[in-house]
Structure 1
């Protein structure tokens, strides 16, 4: 039985939206904003996709290490279509940084970290409809993978209380891609802002707001990040990121109480 034209058109439109959303090669990582206060402070942040740690090696110098991993799978299908169209991306990032911190006024602290990181992005669309020279799209399997490396600087100012912490931070990120491997067509790469990503350094500015509420030892963390690309050419990236996590405050004072 022939399918109504409007159902076919709607399905192709959904596939095109899926394709455009499946080409994200850069996502801002969760920012580590520990708000250190004194030598020996140790802060950790944990959620299913992120692990972060920071340690104050002196009364003004701290180091941090961050790791993130994300693997998802989602499918779009039509009742008239026997083959679902699946998107399976995964990516990981590792970062390390060293920074300076100091109190500004009582319970208000500033810190600045500079660091570097590396990672990998893998996109798998199967099957997906991609454009060609004919009037009808062509059904194909497509892969895209790339290593990445970055450097960043991250200033922060924040208020730290026993039950609540508020901070405003921003990252300036310089991101590069290497070892790109893809089976996407040239048309698809151009259409989805993936062409020649390894021939440029991509600059982003990423303001961030972090709220923590809870107890002296552990707090629930909410973090909102906005990422804006400030260099050319255009790139497929995610401009808004919202994260939820737990922060564990193993400060020098808290450890003294715990192990006394």
Structure 2
């Protein structure tokens, strides 16, 4: 029986870590879209492989912090592909009387990727710096939230540390050109939230589309499922 496309997205997001056994060097994290309505509002998100926090420090300025982790281990544990990253950002937000929200955040972070093969006979490690800009528009009420964000991400890697890989393997996996130029992505993503007041279930569905021509093994899915907690006064009105 064929599954519906939406169900495939959900199954991809729940219980499946983002990295796969194709020597993934970049996997997009969940997008932090707070959709603030007032000064002093704060949101914390616990989602698959992601921990996010944001707070509105004034009537129109917000700050955020993101942490994420991805991992893949083969059944025989001979192949491992792990990565993690941390980000911080600042932006502006606003909304109207109908709770149509708009925001734009920018930030910077770092990421670390490790690959170990053939029981550590082959090793790869790379560190990178990530820059992102994420405008978003959405609608908010005490029971439901929906938003769309076309995040732009740019990642610049340093020269990787390698051992055990032949020159041909380094070329086949694009390891030898990883640090030559930045890698840019546009990541259009839909964010859905449902619940009541201070806690909602959140799901994200999107794609990571590479804008630059330099080759890179990357995950082209943006997906997560989790809970978002909202500390605010407006929904008590």
TM-score using structure 2 length: 0.85
Aligned-pair CA distance for 1:217: 1.0
- The 1:85–1:41 alpha-carbon spacing in structure 2 relative to 1, beyond 3 Å, is closer
Q: Which moved more, 1:225-234 or 1:56-65?
A: 225-234
Find out whether 1:221 has 2:213 as its counterpart: no
Aligned-pair CA distance for 1:219: 0.6
Q: Which residue is 1:207 aligned to?
A: 188
1:104–1:110 contact (8 Å) kept in structure 2: no
The higher radius of gyration belongs to 1
Q: Which residue is 2:124 aligned to?
A: 144
String of CA shifts for 1:10-68, please: whole Å, max 9, x gaps.
xxxxxxxxxx9431100111100010011000001013521100100111100000011
1:219–1:247 contact (8 Å) kept in structure 2: yes
RMSD (Å) for aligned C-alpha atoms: 2.0
Q: Which residue is 1:118 aligned to?
A: 110
TM-score using structure 1 length: 0.78
Q: Which moved more, 1:171-180 or 1:160-169?
A: 171-180
Aligned-pair CA distance for 1:85: 6.5
Give the length in aligned residue pairs. 217
Q: Which residue is 1:238 aligned to?
A: 219
Gaps of 5+ in 1: 1-19, 76-83, 128-139
Q: Which residue is 1:180 aligned to?
A: 160
Q: Which residue is 1:133 aligned to?
A: none
- The 1:105–1:224 alpha-carbon spacing in structure 2 relative to 1, beyond 3 Å, is same
Gaps of 5+ in 2: 1-19
Q: Which residue is 2:8 aligned to?
A: none
1:71–1:90 contact (8 Å) kept in structure 2: yes
1:39–1:58 contact (8 Å) kept in structure 2: yes
Aligned-pair CA distance for 1:164: 0.9
Distance 1:46 1:207 in 2: 21
